[in-house]
Amino acid sequence: MSGRVGGVIADKYLIYGRVGWVQTNFELSASGIGSDNEYFNGIRFGGGVEAMLSNNLSARAEYTYTIYEDALDIPGVDLDVDQHLVRIGVAYYF
């Protein structure tokens, strides 16, 4: 779940920032150490740009970074989980 806030530049470009909450399932198994399966909660933030190519077509690019909480219960394992995500897309408006 996230939201974005931005503004229009030159009537055809939308620049925005994004912030939200993310939950994902992570499973780790290591020989001789053990295994764990946990849900991680995190905060995601980033931004992007969307450009109108025509009246019905737009292209977008977005970068987000997510920092997840530490939640594994395996002795001797220190896991720092984060995620970099780049998305590109095209939208057609009917």
DSSP code per residue over 41-67: EEEEEEEEEEEE-SSSEEEEEEEEEEE
Residue 21's domain spans which residues? 2-92
Tens-place pLDDT, residues 38-51: 788 899 999 999 99
The whole-number average pLDDT for the span 19-31 is 84
pLDDT band at 76 (very low <50, low <70, confident <90, very high): low
Tokens 């909480």 locate to 69
pTM, rounded to two decimals: 0.74
Do the beta carbons of residue 12 and residue 51 sit within 8 Å?
A: yes
| Total domain count, the chain | 1
Contacts of 94 (CB under 8 A, 6+ apart): 56
